Structure 1
């Protein structure tokens, strides 16, 4: 039971009924009507913006329209009170019997509770991580991996058909540098003393690649020309790095259904050229000269004619070059082809998860997809900010293996997957995250992942204790959902049920905003509600969950505990965090 969806229907029905009073509103206007929990719980249980968003269409002042809508809502059987606040917000208080029905539904539906259908089965492509295969993944990649994976989980729960994709940057200058770096390690494996020059990758992670090349080719490549050894070393290094990246992602419980190679955009068919020609046919490609960028040094600026995409026609700040002076494609040209390929595969809803340093690239990519798809496809780019790594408040700067950064695997191995995933989601993606390796394993309320997992473990312990204390009581979902839930009238119990009732609406809102951190925040609040009620039961015996002298109340409270378990398990699954049975 989704109380917010139910009352949205009630509000829309009330608005539609106003046609009988001569107030005619376009059907499409009803899509702007939402029902939310009010920010201040003293204002009621539900609030709607209906009068505020529809007043212009109705040709009325918001408060006047609110009074008419409120009069209709007052007749809804589940409504106890209707108030109008400020310029026209409508606040609703529901009858007490509504909350037991919601808890009953949550317990009976189990895993299905909170699943919503706003996606309608629409295909959506979430591309995330996509780290260059030039070395091990670091903590910055870790945050993007967790965010993208949780977002995909969230969208799946909201009814979308989700594809999880990784774009392998296996073309371009950076993999040539990787190949040269691997070749030096190959020479080292053959007994040569090497020095890693500036501009190549210095980390020890390429030593195994050098050893593998030696095993495969002996010393034959030592005297071979670069044209022969470079592609061999490059491909061997890419394969090794992608194998390691897949292993790192598996350790983090992150999976992709598609790994897309950048090289495939140019062979066997040149899709980049095809994309450029498609834009040219639209009149969106021209040969021209760009203005010198602000701040560019005159000595470094070369004014020359280039192949340009008319991106300003689609919301970008300047037009963008697609060809380099040597005749090769720019990264942007390849990215246009890649996003066109996704659109051609049926993904008109595309989400890219990028590092914050790519913020200046967003407008041009959105402009390009809009142009290349004829306005049919849309791109939402979620920027993931930096992770600052600490241990007991002191910065952690580098690892030996990588050469200059801490690897994702090192962090996961030290604190565990669950701590990494939850804490990476406990701040909004576009806010810098301070990650303290010591604090994320503390067993305290100040450590959110522990606090939430402990709530689930404590609930499961209560249910196990109940099975021992009242062994003949049926603790199945059907029996608990049919318990006398109207007896749950303590303020703490009602507050927990009201929090559980918010869960389906939370999934909708978080999925629409592409913000999985909302789930993490919500779980902490639900855990806090539960721990508070548990502590009250320690001090007041009549509030304990197991009342051996009152089986009816025990059944009702165990249903409440099962409702908490249901939601915690569901939300933790979205975050990719284990719902533990007990804490050790």
Structure 2
């Protein structure tokens, strides 16, 4: 059930009939007609822009269209009032039975209430985290991991076929640095005194790796030149780091479907194939780029390079794909990697990058556009920085990591559920303050607590009902007579429940899982308000002494709230609590 979609269908049906009757000109396009909650709830339950968007093509006054449409809509038993406001806005109020029907629908459909076929099985690849395999994940990766995972769940919930993917950046020079750092820990494990020069990784997390290596191979590499051990230690160290990264992700409840190695692109012809594909389209050429805008770097000089004509696909400037020494730029394997995704048959690609990758957006979109001939859209979502606070001060860096706060540091402090929810309390491209004290505080100002408390309150009511011998299972509550549910505070909750399917589709279309967290906070607020009114008005209490039928009707509403909260938390990867401790 999607009540907003149902009422929009009613509006469209009546507009179509008005065209057939000659009230409106034939052939009007109704795609932009919407039915939404009004900005001011005092104006009604829903509002439609039909008259405003059709006035110009119909060559009519919007108010005339709105009045004619209102006269038809009021004939439907679901519509209590249809009022024209201003130049032609049409505000609708729905009958109480409609809102009571939403409660019944939630209980009948359970956590499938809000699911949709919006995606129609379209295959989407969501790539996220994709950190260099050189150490544990840090707090910035945490935000990207939570955002990407929640987005993947949201898309799956809305009918898409989703693949969660991690791109292992194991083809670059940073893995050489990792291997050298592990070599130093290896020597240290064998009793040698070592120093970590600038540019190496001094974190304690490599101590165990060095010790394990020493146990496995003894002193085989002691005193040996880098040419002897570098390649083997690259692979050994990367494997160990991937185990660490997988464990970090598991502590947050993140499980990838695919780990794709950048290294697998080198020496296999796959980069060459992708570049040749672009060359066949006339998009690769030798040329000289314009100097960078602003102050010229001292070492800049015009030189001929192999370039990708990315400006043909919306970029600001063409991009180099080969260095002057003939080796590939960082961009070339990324092109090949996305070409692989296109060849795997995905209908849409989503990349989740850190904020420092903003300069990569246009060139990567241009590459995918060229590789897929515009068939496969690429959406790149940037996650902004996270600032950590504790006791009113910035949270100190992790000794284990060497120079940053790790994902494990955060999860061990507050748990995975709190971590995930808080990371989604801001839009991905907005900075986020993560205060370890506030996220554990039990107050309305803490959205995690506020939402979980609403769910726990419902569960407590159901337990009390069972203790009192009142049947409160979903089947019984789903069949309850809801006619006693009619107070404005109760209908406010029902209206918010009705928004859930629409909200899911909006969030899925815009790739914005934070909307789910915002909605859950608002729904919880309406439920807490109803609960508090019950302290003042006996008739609003969920358990009515001596009146089983009314109690079950009230509990049906409460249970519907918990069903939607549970579904929303499931999308966010958060487990709903049964009771607050």
TM-score over 0.5 for the alignment?
Answer: yes
| Aligned residues of 2:38 and 2:46 also touching (Cα < 8 A) | yes
**Which range is displaced more, 69-78 or 427-436?**
69-78
| Aligned residues of 1:459 and 1:561 also touching (Cα < 8 A) | yes
Partner of 2:363: 364
Matched, 1:555 2:529: no
Question: Aligned pair in 2 of structure 1 residues 56, 343: CA closer, same or farther (>3 Å)?
Answer: farther
Matched, 1:50 2:50: yes
Pick aligned residue for 2:522 from 520, 525, 539: 525
Structure 1 runs (4+) greater than 4 angstroms displaced: 24-27
Q: What is the alpha-carbon distance in structure 2 between the residues aligned to residue 509 and residue 362 of structure 1?
A: 23
Q: What is the alpha-carbon distance in structure 1 between the residues aligned to residue 178 and residue 165 of structure 2?
A: 23
How much does 1:24 deviate? 4.7
Partner of 1:581: 578
Q: How many residue pairs align between the two structures?
A: 580
Matched, 1:439 2:426: no
Partner of 1:538: 535
**Which range is displaced more, 509-518 or 541-550?**
541-550
How much does 1:251 deviate? 0.5
- Equivalences for residues 82-481 of structure 1 within 5 A: 82-267=82-267, 269-469=268-468, 471=469, 473-481=470-478
How much does 1:69 deviate? 3.1
CA RMSD of aligned residues (A): 1.5
Q: What is the alpha-carbon distance in structure 2 between the residues aligned to residue 355 and residue 305 of structure 1?
A: 31
How much does 1:25 deviate? 5.8
Q: What is the alpha-carbon distance in structure 2 between the residues aligned to residue 120 and residue 18 of structure 1?
A: 31
- Equivalences for residues 20-31 of structure 1 within 5 A: 20-22=20-22, 23-24=24-25, 29-31=29-31
How much does 1:224 deviate? 2.5
Question: Aligned pair in 2 of structure 1 residues 495, 121: CA closer, same or farther (>3 Å)?
Answer: same
Query: Which consecutive unaligned segments of at least 5 residues does structure 2 have?
Result: none
Deviations 1:18-38 (A, max 9, x none): 3214445658x3333222111
Q: What is the alpha-carbon distance in structure 2 between the residues aligned to residue 157 and residue 523 of structure 1?
A: 16
Q: What is the alpha-carbon distance in structure 1 between the residues aligned to residue 514 and residue 486 of structure 2?
A: 31
Deviations 1:130-151 (A, max 9, x none): 1111111111100010011111
How much does 1:546 deviate? 0.5
Q: What is the alpha-carbon distance in structure 2 between the residues aligned to residue 167 and residue 491 of structure 1?
A: 51
How much does 1:449 deviate? 0.6
Deviations 1:146-197 (A, max 9, x none): 0111111111111111111111111011111111111111122222211111
Question: Aligned pair in 2 of structure 1 residues 272, 53: CA closer, same or farther (>3 Å)?
Answer: farther
Q: What is the alpha-carbon distance in structure 1 between the residues aligned to residue 441 and residue 297 of structure 2?
A: 55
Deviations 1:265-302 (A, max 9, x none): 224x3211111111111111110000110235352103
Question: Aligned pair in 2 of structure 1 residues 336, 60: CA closer, same or farther (>3 Å)?
Answer: farther
Length-normalised TM-score, structure 2: 0.97
What SS does the corresponding residue of 1:242 show, helix, strand or coil?
Answer: helix
How much does 1:61 deviate? 4.3
Q: What is the alpha-carbon distance in structure 2 between the residues aligned to residue 166 and residue 26 of structure 1?
A: 48
How much does 1:477 deviate? 2.2
Deviations 1:426-484 (A, max 9, x none): 11111100001111111122111111111111110100101111x1x432323212212
Query: Which consecutive unaligned segments of at least 5 residues does structure 1 have?
Result: none
What SS does the corresponding residue of 1:352 show, helix, strand or coil?
Answer: strand
| Aligned residues of 2:342 and 2:371 also touching (Cα < 8 A) | no
What SS does the corresponding residue of 1:124 show, helix, strand or coil?
Answer: strand
| Aligned residues of 1:213 and 1:233 also touching (Cα < 8 A) | no
How much does 1:237 deviate? 1.3
| Aligned residues of 1:397 and 1:404 also touching (Cα < 8 A) | no
Question: Aligned pair in 2 of structure 1 residues 404, 484: CA closer, same or farther (>3 Å)?
Answer: same
Q: What is the alpha-carbon distance in structure 2 between the residues aligned to residue 41 and residue 298 of structure 1?
A: 57
How much does 1:58 deviate? 3.3
How much does 1:335 deviate? 1.1
| Aligned residues of 1:182 and 1:206 also touching (Cα < 8 A) | yes
Matched, 1:19 2:19: yes
Q: What is the alpha-carbon distance in structure 1 between the residues aligned to residue 423 and residue 212 of structure 2?
A: 35
Q: What is the alpha-carbon distance in structure 2 between the residues aligned to residue 411 and residue 354 of structure 1?
A: 20
Partner of 2:567: 570
| Aligned residues of 1:169 and 1:262 also touching (Cα < 8 A) | yes
